[in-house]
Amino acid sequence: MKYIDFQGKKISMLGYGAMRLPTVGKDSQIDYAETERLFDRAIDAGINYFDTAYPYHGGNSEIVVGKILSKYPRESYYIATKYPGHQILPDYNPAAIFEDQLKKCGVEYFDFYLLHNVCETSLPVYLDKSLGIIDYFLEQKRLGRIKHLGFSTHGSPENMSEFLDAAGEHMEFCQIQLNYLDWTLQRAEEKCRLLEKWEIPVWVMEPVRGGKLVNKLPDGAKEKLRSLRPDESLASWCFRWLTGLSNMGVILSGMSNMEQLEDNIKTFSTEKPLTDAETAVLYEIADGLKSSVPCTSCGYCLKSCPMELNIPMLLEVYNDLSYAPGVNSASKIEFLPENKQPTACIACSRCVKACPQNIDIPLTLIKLSKMLKDIPSWRKICEERAAAAEKTKK
C-alpha cells in the first residue's frame, strides 16, 4: 500500500470514502455485513483512512463506520467526518452536531474534521462571526477532540481564495473534486495551484467522477486505454494520473463492492506512473467528453446584465451538468435568491452582444433551468426550501 507522510503520521494514500457504501434498498439502509467485509479487507490491505460525513446515507454512514472500526485499536485507523454548514439548517449550533457525531461514531476525538463544502452559498455561513463555527472547531482542536482541521469545497477558485484569505491560516488540508476531466472542466488545476501556494495538501474526492470515468467513457476511449495498458483497469488510469500530481494527500474512493476494492488495492500497491504520452491521451479523452459552451469567464457579460446575474458561474454549472447531472454542481446556485437564479433572465440579449465567444446566453440559461428541474434531488431541495420559506411567513 502506498502511504503519505502527514505531519509525522503514516496515512494510506488510498482512503475509504463512506458516501457510497453497499445498501439494501434505500440509500439510508446500509448493508452492514457487506460493509464490514469490505472494511476488514481494506484494513488487512493497509488502508487506514476512513471518510464519512453527517448527511451520508441519511445520517447512518457515521454510525456504521464508527461501529465497524470500533473492533480495531483506536490508534490503528484515522476517521474523518464533516460539519454540514453547507446545508440550510434551522439551527447552526456546531456544538450540538459535533457532540452527536462523536456519539454516533463512538469515538472521543476525530483524527480529521472538515468544514463541509465551503462554496459560494455556504461561505457567508462559515464566516458569520455570530455563529462562531470556525472558532468552535478551533477550540475543539485545542482540546484534542479534533486532531486536524480542514475543509472540503465544490466552489470556484475565487470562492476558495476568499475563504483562505479569511481562515486559511487554520486549515491543514483541503478536499476537492479532482480528476483528469475536472482538471479543466471545474478548474481543478487552478484550485490545486492555489492550495500549493498556501502550502495546504490536497485531499481528493470523486477521482473517477462517481464511476462515470469508467462507465460513461465512449467505446473508442475505453479501447484505446485498454490497448495501452491491457493489465490495468480504467479506474487505475484515474488514480495513476492523480498520483503523478504534486501536493497530493489522501485520494478517496467510494468502494461499493469487493471488485472495486481489490482493483484499487492493486493500483495503490504498485508504482506504474503514466508517461507524458499516456497523460496526453487522458486529456484528449477529457476534451471529447466536454459538451460545453466556450465561456472563458472574462466577465464582459456581467456589466451588461440588467438583472446582475452571475453569468460565468451559471455557465460553469451548465457545462458541468451537461456532462454529468448531479446535485453537487447544482449546489453552487442552490440557495441563490430567486432574482439571481437562471430563471430570472429576461432574455434581453445584452450579454450576447458583449460576449467575445458569441454564446447564446439566454438560451443556455433556459437549458440550465430545465437541467435543474430534471435532477430529483434538486427538486426535493427546492420543495423543502419553499416549504421553509412559507413556514417563515406564517
pTM, 2 dp: 0.81
Helix (H) or strand (E) holding 188: helix 188-197
- pLDDT tens digit at each of 394 positions of the chain: 999 999 999 999 999 999 999 999 888 999 999 999 999 999 999 999 999 999 899 999 999 999 999 999 999 999 999 999 877 566 778 999 999 999 999 999 999 999 999 988 789 999 999 999 999 999 999 999 999 999 999 888 999 999 999 999 999 999 999 999 999 888 899 999 999 999 999 999 999 988 889 988 888 999 999 999 999 999 999 999 999 999 999 999 999 999 999 999 999 999 999 999 999 999 999 988 876 777 767 787 998 899 999 998 899 888 888 877 666 777 778 778 889 999 999 999 999 988 877 889 999 999 999 988 887 766 666 676 666 666 666 5
CA distance readout (Å), 149 to 92, 200, 256: 18, 11, 27
Going by C-alpha positions, the residue among 8, 40, 58 that lies closest to residue 255 is: 40
Going by C-alpha positions, the residue among 75, 69, 80 that lies closest to residue 43 is: 69
pLDDT value at residue 300: 79
Which one-letter amino acid corresponds to residue 145?
R
Beta strands in 167-212 (DSSP E): 174-177, 202-205
